[in-house]
Structure 1
Amino acid sequence: MSIVICFNNKDPKPWQEALQAKLPNATIEIYPNVTDPKAITFALCWKPESNILAKFPNVKVVQSVGASVEHIIQSQDLASDCVVTRIVDDRLSKDLFEFVLTGILSHIKRFADYQKAQKEKQWQQKPYKTIQNTSIGILGLGKIGTHVATKLAQVGFTVKAWSRSEKTLENVSCFHGNEGLINTLKNTDILINILPLTSAIENILNLKHLSQLNKNGYLINVGRGEHLVENDLLTLLNNQHLSGALLDVFRTEPLPEDHPFWKHENITITPHIAAITNIETASDIVVSNYKSLSNGKEFINVVSIQKGY
């Protein structure tokens, strides 16, 4: 019974070291350097190669090292009795809220405009919005989305939120279903996407939906790159229906050098850093699930393979 680490675009060594310190008697190997594939029962993954887990026929638990799991579910042919788990860490929720709040305040106070003016040595005061007269729409009310919606409402924003199933939050107008989605989008100044990725909501940030936002609306995408129809965003920016976008996630990461987003003056790009998993705290979750596998106990943060979240 041993652990394999299968990572793409992430350094596996710090994870191996953190886990080995907490599980000194466990065999923890980094793919492709695996001594006995049949001995692997626990896989730690981040964007693994397609069907790579088929090399380990006895895997019982597949642990994502982030909050997302679609990169596992969609790329692997998992056995019916295989359990998929993810990282649910309060620090991720707090970090993402701070990122989103920074993006919102920078936008409504027009810092990007002043940066451009500074380069041109222009001294020109511009009108701005306040917290009280800014309407926020949030897509996704999982653990992180709920934290963000609640905190933004406490700050004083008018907050609406949409989820696929019915939910209730204090001081947040909650909607669900197709009609509820439109209600969330209409009369909204800033839209924040924090949805997980499933086939049902891929491309949800499209021309039809983003056109519902207020004139000069703003998009913050910290969900998944696959939620966004990229050409539709460019169309709405270029016809000035939307005033800008803050994008932290992309269909292809790293973002290709020839991608038009790099050069668009109204798009701010960050390299998937809105909420980075903390190895020290997250490794405790991994250790807990590994010990549960050994002891036949319940796992934490299990996801539904059928639902995708």
Structure 2
Amino acid sequence: MLLLHLSDVEETRWAEKFRAALAPYPVVQRGDEFAPGDVRYIFVWKPKADAFEGLGKLKAILSLGAGVDALLKHPKLPDAPMVRFVDDDLSQRMSDYVVAQVTMHHRLHSRFQADQAARRWSQLYPPAAAARCVGIMGMGVLGQDAARRLLALGFAVRSWSRTPRTIEGVEGFCGAEGFDAFLGGTDILVNLLPLTPETTGILNSDTFAKLRRGGLEGGPVIINVARGGHQREADIARALGDGTLGAASLDVFEVEPLPATSPLWDIPNCYITPHIAAISSETAGVAYYAAIIKDHEAGKPLINVVDRARGY
């Protein structure tokens, strides 16, 4: 068995950890000499054009991240099972980011930041968290974890997903028929959806206009920590300018790095971070996939396999 490491992170560190975890099985990486036909597992994130050349005997494709849209778009993606990364550490990091952004907007950071710049003392007391409704799009592992943590802080939480999900304390909506009702009661919209043809561009002017008005001083807020392909940045800039949105927290973008010419940089109520909400830990990732490989070699089924038809 060989595991071929192809990734846009620092390859050597991952390869060294995999070699230690999988010994005596050989682990190779780009630049090593090996026979492609010997490769049984490939560990990859954003595959290069030639990533899968000659790999005709793959048992599985192992994704560095929870999302697999970059893999699914590859024109030469082999017909082998894809396994996505599911890990408590990754969920914790993502929820940390979501909670930080939600609480920042709940406490009217944009309002008080503007007051500070104007040297204006204007007391306005934000209500209790229970008065805010956070709507989460996407109820996979990450969405469910974020929902639980927000509930623990007292926020009202609702969810929207492709199919019905029952989560204690969360008001659930699903499908196209439930989308408008979901938006209509949402003050802070959090996107944790997988990127599929159906969800591409979902953060657009029509969506923003349907969010609840009057619930959050300054207007409703969006937080996107999923994929840049979910958002229409021209619509976000326009909505922040005309008051349709009160603020936005964006960790992902249509083009990354975000071009210096983007108008989003100059909008004071647009909070930009450079795709750092959550990252796959080397220690957690190696432990997770080393166990999967060993179990699979021992005849056990793969876990967290991607449904290609759904896109996640």
In structure 2, relative to structure 1, the CA distance for the partners of 1:213 and 1:14 (3 Å cut) is same
> Corresponding residue for 1:6?
6
TM-score (norm 2): 0.92
Q: For 2:269, which of 250, 262, 266 is the aligned residue?
A: 266
Residues 1:214 and 2:217 aligned together:
no
Q: Does residue 228 of structure 2 align to residue 225 of structure 1?
A: yes
Paired residues of 1:4 and 1:34 also in contact (CA < 8 A): no
Structure 1 contact 88–301 (Cα < 8 Å) conserved: yes
CA RMSD of aligned residues (A): 1.8
How many angstroms does 1:181 deviate by?
1.1
For the residues of structure 2 that align with 1:302 and 1:38, how far apart are their CA atoms?
23
Structure 2: runs of 5 or more not aligned? 214-218
Displacement of 1:228 in angstroms is 0.7
| Residues in 1 aligned to 2:50 and 2:221: alpha-carbon distance in whole angstroms | 38
Q: Tell me what 1:175 maps to.
A: 173
- Aligned length in residues: 307
TM-score by length of 1: 0.93
Matches within 5 A, 1:232-247: 232-247=235-250
Task: Please state how far the C-alpha of 1:223 moved relative to its aligned partner.
Answer: 1.4
Instruction: State how far apart, in whole Å, the 2-side matches of 1:76 and 1:42 are.
Output: 19
SS at match of 1:128: coil
Runs of 4+ displaced beyond 6 Å: none
* Contact residue 221 and residue 249 of structure 1 kept, 8 A: yes
State the alpha-carbon separation in 2 of the partners of residues 11 and 250 from structure 1.
Answer: 22
Whole-Å Cα distance in 1 between the matches of residues 10 and 124 of structure 2? 44
Work out the CA distance in 2 between the residues paired with 1:206 and 1:34.
48
Find 1:283's aligned residue among 281, 286, 289. 286
* Greater CA drift, 191-200 or 101-110: 101-110
Gapped regions of structure 1 (runs ≥ 5): none
- Summarize the Cα distance change of 1:238–1:32 in structure 2 as closer, same or farther, 3 Å threshold: farther
CA contact 1:97–1:148 (8 Å) conserved in 2: yes
Alignment correspondent of 2:67:
68
Q: Report deviation, 1:293.
A: 3.9
User: For the Cα contact (< 8 Å) 1:46–1:64, is it kept in 2?
Assistant: yes
The 2-side partners of 1:55 and 1:257 are apart by 39
Identity percentage of aligned residues: 33
Give runs of aligned pairs for residues 142-221 of structure 1, distance below 5 A.
142-215=140-213, 216-221=219-224
Over 3 Å counting, the alpha-carbon distance change for 1:120 and 1:17 in structure 2 is farther
Distance 1:298 1:230 in 2: 41
Amino acid at match of 1:251: E
| In 2: Cα distance, 1:150 partner to 1:206 partner | 27
Aligned partners of 2:4 and 2:29 also within 8 Å: yes
Give the Å deviation of 1:213: 0.8
Corresponding position: 1:79 with 2:82:
no
SS at 2:249 equivalent: strand
Residues 11 and 113 from structure 1, CA distance in 2 versus in 1: closer, same or farther, beyond 3 angstroms? farther
Q: Which amino acid letter does the alignment assign opposite residue 131 of structure 1?
A: A
Q: Give 1:85 deviation, angstroms.
A: 0.2
- Give the C-alpha shift of residue 219 in structure 1: 0.3
8 A Cα contact 2:99 2:149, kept in partner: no
Q: Which residue of 1 aligns with 2:30?
A: 31
Query: After superposition, what is the alpha-carbon deviation per residue over 1:39-87, rounded to whole angstroms, capped at 9, x for unaligned?
Result: 221111111124521342222211011111111112143333x010011
Shift of 1:182: 1.0
Aligned partner letter, 1:185: L
